[in-house]
Chain A
Amino acid sequence: MDAKGKSDPTSAKNRTTVERKSERELVVTRTFNAPVRIVFEAWTKPELFKRWWVPKSVDMTMLSCEMDVRAGGTYRLEFGHPASEQPMAFFGRYIEVTPHSRVVWTNDEGGEGGPVTTVTFEERGGQTLVVLHDLYPSKEALDDAIASGSTGGFGEQFEQLDELLVALGGSVGRS
């Protein structure tokens, strides 16, 4: 039914890489087989965003997702988890929004120590390279985040990462 120009999405899964760039920075990269306008849309439209942000293997549901994606706008994500009565909230402010190119936001749920996240989108031959950059205010802040088991600005509430790890069949030496 479909002829030319179809990049086969099933052939090769694009790899996600992570690097601790410095003592207060983490960088995640991934390429998507689509033009930048599509990837940007999926990232910035709440109804699309909520479909991919929460890993399915984590027993959490997104209760609400408010995103006012423009410089100075705010966002607030609320999650429910069977083990907790209170929803968990993640919130912050967009510092910079450049359509199809760059979004920068704060992660304020953890107080002062939260990182500033920058995502850049770069189109390369019909594909889009996404680079996500978490910059913590200090080395100690990132070390704390690591120690608490949280990642990607999810604050220390994100203990469900342990469950994710189990679900994924990974193993970390735990006593």
Chain B
Amino acid sequence: MVQYTTARLDASFAALSDTTRRGVLEQLGRADASITELAEKFHMTLTGMKKHVGVLEQAGLVTTKKVGRVRTCKLGLRGLEEVAAWIERYRQLWDVRFDELDKVVEELKQKEKVDGRKGQE
């Protein structure tokens, strides 16, 4: 099971570590776009943008389709979902821990209140 997710997670996180690529994902979240459009939007050369899109595609975050001479990019949800799932799992671990910590903290708070009251009497 570890093997299965490892490669894809690696690729996804690598892909997400770059500002431009995160920007591209955000952009594609709004609307599909061609590589040329993306290159213009991010003030890059066509070659540069092709590379970025390639990395995103490899990670499964983006899919592309060539129609005529234009390559259109759209969001590929699979990779994102896996990264999100891992992050969510990590969050849940801390969430259950912190729920317990909440109980301990609440108990201490009540105890302090009671002790404080006793002290005043």
Q: Which A residues contact B (CB, under 8 angstroms)?
A: 9, 13-14, 16-18, 20, 22-23, 26, 28, 30, 32-34, 38-39, 41-43, 48, 51-53, 55-57, 130, 132, 139, 142-143, 146-149, 151-152, 161-162, 164-165, 168, 170-175
B93 near A38: Cβ-Cβ < 8 Å:
no
Partner of B91, one of A13, A16, A42, A53: A16
* Contact residues in B for A151 (Cβ distance below 8 Å): 89-90, 93
* Contact residues in B for A147 (Cβ distance below 8 Å): 2, 5-6, 9-10
**Given A34-B108, A56-B100, A174-B4: A146 in contact with B94 (beta carbons within 8 A):** no
A16 near B108: Cβ-Cβ < 8 Å:
no
- Interface SS of chain B: helix
Q: How far is the CA of A149 from the CA of B2 in the complex (A)?
A: 7
Q: Is the C-beta of B13 less than 8 angstroms from some C-beta in chain A?
A: yes
B82 near A173: Cβ-Cβ < 8 Å:
yes
* Contact residues in B for A48 (Cβ distance below 8 Å): 104, 108
Chain B 91-115 per-residue mask, 1 if CB under 8 angstroms from chain A, else 0: 1111111111111111011001000
Chain B 79-94 per-residue mask, 1 if CB under 8 angstroms from chain A, else 0: 0011001111111111
Q: How far is the CA of A13 from the CA of B16 in the complex (A)?
A: 31
B94 near A172: Cβ-Cβ < 8 Å:
no
**Given A9-B106, A139-B17: A28 in contact with B89 (beta carbons within 8 A):** no
Q: How many contacting A-B pairs (Cβ < 8 A)? A: 123
Closest to A173 in B: B82
Closest to B96 in A: A55
Residue in B87, B92, B106 whose Cβ sees the most chain A Cβ within 10 Å: B92
Q: How far is the CA of A42 from the CA of B110 in the complex (A)?
A: 14
Q: Is the C-beta of B31 less than 8 angstroms from some C-beta in chain A?
A: no
Size bracket of the B interface: 35 or more
Cβ distance B13 to chain A, nearest Cβ, rounded Å: 6
B13 near A20: Cβ-Cβ < 8 Å:
yes
Closest to A41 in B: B108
* Contact residues in B for A132 (Cβ distance below 8 Å): 94
* Contact residues in A for B89 (Cβ distance below 8 Å): 151, 161, 164-165, 170, 172
Q: List 13 A-B contacts (CB under 8 A).
A: A16-B94, A22-B17, A23-B17, A30-B95, A32-B101, A33-B105, A33-B109, A34-B109, A39-B101, A39-B105, A149-B2, A164-B96, A172-B5
A174 near B81: Cβ-Cβ < 8 Å:
no
A152 near B94: Cβ-Cβ < 8 Å:
yes
B81 near A32: Cβ-Cβ < 8 Å:
no
Q: How far is the CA of A168 from the CA of B99 in the complex (A)?
A: 14
* Contact residues in B for A174 (Cβ distance below 8 Å): 1, 4-5
Q: How far is the CA of A84 from the CA of B4 in the complex (A)?
A: 24
Q: How far is the CA of A175 from the CA of B103 in the complex (A)?
A: 37
Partner of B13, one of A13, A51, A146: A146
